[in-house]
Amino acid sequence: VLRYQVGDVATMAGQLGHLLSVMALPAVSLGVIPFSVPRHRIWPQETFSIFDENTVEIELLTARVMVTAPGEIEQYENAFLRLADLAVYGDAARKLIRTALASIE
């Protein structure tokens, strides 16, 4: 979340600046979901990371859950694809990050 302050101004500026830097790397595809996107389309209550086709890690308030069942992994892959479809990339993503950066400086 670009505008949720998780540290002081210097920390936030550093984090947003880092996002702008890594966007230039050839192996990185960084998408930003605009704040204006309706949340009812798909918005998981927990964060998750897809490591590979065999493992999904879900972060909860007090624990991590490792998912290895193929049917459950498929649901997270589908959720990821739906979220990716909502995101903007490239110049549009850079603009959102720069706008967030300008608002905290």
The residue range of the domain holding 94 is 1-32+87-105
pLDDT at residue 7, as a whole number: 86
Residues in CB range of 79: below 8 A, 6 or more apart: 42, 44, 48
What's the N-to-C CA distance of the chain in angstroms?
A: 17
Q: Is pLDDT of 4 > 90? A: no
> pLDDT tens across 13-65, in order?
999 999 999 999 999 999 999 988 887 667 777 889 999 999 999 999 899 99
Asked if residue 94 and residue 72 are part of one domain, the reply reads no
Asked if residue 92 and residue 75 are part of one domain, the reply reads no
Residues in CB range of 94: below 8 A, 6 or more apart: 20, 23
How many separate domains does the chain show? 2
> pLDDT tens across 67-77, in order?
999 999 999 99
Asked if residue 76 and residue 99 are part of one domain, the reply reads no
Asked if residue 16 and residue 50 are part of one domain, the reply reads no
What gap in Å lies between CA 66 and CA 56, rounded to an integer?
6
Asked if residue 17 and residue 41 are part of one domain, the reply reads no
pLDDT at residue 13, as a whole number: 94
Asked if residue 54 and residue 25 are part of one domain, the reply reads no
pLDDT at residue 41, as a whole number: 66
